[in-house]
Amino acid sequence: MGFFNGLVGTLIVRTPLLQIAPSRERRWLSEPNRRRLQEVYDQVPAVSCHCDRLGQCCELTKEEMEADFATMYPLYSIEYFNIVDYVEDHFDAERRDAVLSLTDERPERCPFLTDTGGCSIYPVRPLVCRTYGVLSREAVEETARDARGKVSAQWVASFLFTERHTVCPHTRIQAPEALAAHAKNMVRFNYERELLSLGREAARLDEARAAVFASVSGLKRVTRWTWGGYNVLLRAPLAWLKKHFAGYWRRSTLAD
C-alpha to C-alpha distance for 133 and 167, rounded to whole angstroms: 5
C-alpha to C-alpha distance for 21 and 19, rounded to whole angstroms: 6
Structural contact between residues 45 and 131, judged by C-beta atoms closer than 8 angstroms = no
Half-sphere exposure at residue 162, Cβ-oriented, CA atoms within 13 angstroms: 20
Kindly tell me if the per-residue pLDDT of 251 is higher than 70.
yes
Q: 50 in a domain, yes or no?
A: yes
* Domain encompassing residue 206: 3-130+170-251
Q: 151 in a domain, yes or no?
A: no
Q: 138 in a domain, yes or no?
A: no
State the DSSP string of 117-180. S-BTTGGG--HHHHSTTTS-HHHHHHHHHHHBTTB-HHHHHHHHHHHTTS--TTEEES-GGGHH
What pLDDT score was predicted for residue 120?
Answer: 97
- Residue among 49, 55, 168, 53 at smallest CA distance from 114: 55
Please tell me the total count of domains within the chain. 1
The percent of residues in the chain predicted with pLDDT above 90, rounded, is 78
Q: What is the pLDDT of residues 8-53, one digit of tens each?
A: 333 444 443 344 444 555 688 999 999 999 999 999 999 998 988 8
Q: 159 in a domain, yes or no?
A: no
Can you tell me the mean pLDDT for 242-253? 96
Of 9 and 71, which is predicted with more confidence? 71
Q: 27 in a domain, yes or no?
A: yes
Can you tell me the mean pLDDT for 189-201? 95
- CB-CB neighbours of 116 under 10 Å: 7
C-alpha to C-alpha distance for 214 and 222, rounded to whole angstroms: 10
Can you tell me the mean pLDDT for 211-219? 96
Kindly report which listed range (52-61, 74-83, 126-135, 166-175) carries the lowest average pLDDT score.
52-61
What pLDDT score was predicted for residue 244?
Answer: 97
C-alpha to C-alpha distance for 94 and 66, rounded to whole angstroms: 32
What pLDDT score was predicted for residue 155?
Answer: 96
What pLDDT score was predicted for residue 185?
Answer: 98
What pLDDT score was predicted for residue 26?
Answer: 66
Work out the burial of residue 115: count CB atoms within 10 Å of its CB; fewer than 13 is exposed, 13-18 middle, 19 or more buried: exposed
Kindly tell me if the per-residue pLDDT of 83 is higher than 70.
yes
The whole-chain average pLDDT of the chain stands at 89
What pLDDT score was predicted for residue 24?
Answer: 52
Classify 73 as helix, strand or coil. coil
